[in-house]
Amino acid sequence: MQLTDSKKKRTKGYYLTRLFGNSVNIKIIEILLNNAIAEQKSGKTLWYNFSHIAEQAKVSKSSGKRILDDLIENGFVEEKKIETHAQFPPRLVRLQSYHPAINELLFFYKKARGFL
């Protein structure tokens, strides 16, 4: 199946949405996968803010929070707690790339990007 120009524009920058549909879950997972690849390239542990991830995915913070909370609960994403006096401190996350399922997903994602 060939992607039409309008489909390519609609999913620009996202590869997994072309395969699995344009859902918030897929976008957030793809953002986390890109962040994990950046982390591997830099050799440093990189943490990302919940709000920034939601903004990148162009979704509301509450939708992003719901998905990220679910990924944390299932052990796919790690959260770093920030100690502060703020009422709503920033929440930082990263993929747990040593998790076997995430490790395989990273491998698949890197391959899929090469084909799409």
CA-CA distances (angstroms) from residue 85 to 51, 82, 90? 19, 10, 11
What confidence tens digit (pLDDT) does each residue in 54-104 have?
999 999 999 999 999 999 999 999 999 888 888 888 899 999 989 999 999
Class of the domain covering 14-115: mainly alpha
**Domain-by-domain residue ranges, the chain?**
14-115
d(CA 54, CA 34): 14
pLDDT at 12 over 70: no
d(CA 113, CA 32): 15
Q: What is the pLDDT of residue 11?
A: 53
